[in-house]
Structure 1
């Protein structure tokens, strides 16, 4: 059973559930927000993580920031059902809970391979392969979990550092009804990916943290059923912040071209939360799609 759960805001207690008019190809599909915050310690939110449900089974995790494993439990999900963990990038507020999921899986009956896909590395950030080895490998911080990499446990991790560009897109079939695609996006100097998840012809796109300076995201996400975009800064943020994150006006411009059926705005920080109501109002005026501002535990029926 999929469980929407309660989110304790600073001023009120909200029941986080949302129903939308279903598209035919998205029957029995739901998107759940496990974490809608960033790296701050005083925003009252778990860090970024999303869970895709299909036929009442948890199929894909997109990002696993701090607190994601707690949200996963509250949602009533089963780790045995997860086909893949897709990482947009390796900042701790997007990938910090990975060891918690792997350790916790010891107490489940999981027996099938788990895909963990994320970006390549550079001089600043480890690749997804390096990151996972540094955590779980034979010489890693949590080396007692290395059997999951070495093939000596009940299941094995399929870890891939994804190379993807407009010229060489990553496009991979995980199951008969599950295809994942990745696009390199600009997150300043940090290697980062946007993900498209196609389950039974229902398309969900996750921008991750990006600036859209590469100008390729609109084509990648065009006409998706759901697009999740991140609002970590406000319009008047510093140039340093704008080198990492997309502004509200640029989010609006992208979504007007993409025209998704459902828009989800997430990954808030205190600097963007202060103007959330204004942004929500302007987005609803500018877009034809249903606009939803994320909260932890929010369950969106597609």
Structure 2
């Protein structure tokens, strides 16, 4: 099978060389496993075998953290910016198994910038495609950036007061435009922004602009930054316990502020989520309330009675 695939690829390459297509080469490279997919996706040669070796002893999340540190050491000669970018994208590609575009298009750039006191910090700009990576990978990408900036000797992000208020306004505005899985409280947002050692930034992805906290020194747009909102709310805050698990293993005390996240008082009557009822369009029928005996349940997906290309409801 492998030989026949290689023959097909050689024919396709020969056809592309004729110049009738947009590109003169086949865009999709061959890859045998996750390690090879990551290597080909990022065009960073020589990391596939390291990923395979580490995967025998570590979980995928641990492999992503360790490989990020190895990549930054390997490419430090190319400059800190290049080493930082390659390391964070490698970690995210491993978390997403080299399948998604999130490592390429979900992060639009990583920069080393300066605080008011002259110290340096790392800023990661996220975009909409980061959504596909899932909350855990989004959150871990911020942790990876923090671990890498430590290895490079770069300082932590120190936010201005008006920047903190901008985050609060922006997240609430984004939730009105595009629904968030989890909308943190203003106190939770303040806690994370004031304590997170990495700046979570993004490109202006929505047409709507913020009404206050405009034309800011270190925020390049007045438009709502969708990628930032996703990573902060559905990643870092919603998956705070998973981040803490890794920081405790690594002995990083700087992330302990996450222990204060998500400690809301839960009313026993409201413990069964009624959130979907709040967002219901007027006039739609309610089949079932959450947890109600005899309620309507919908299951969908593949089952034993459907084929590989079919879905059952």
User: Do they fold alike, i.e. is TM over 0.5?
Assistant: no
More helix by share: 2
Question: Which structure ranks higher in relative contact order (CA pairs < 8 Å, sequence separation ≥ 6)?
Answer: 1
Q: Which has the larger radius of gyration?
A: 2
What is the TM-score normalised by the length of structure 2? 0.25
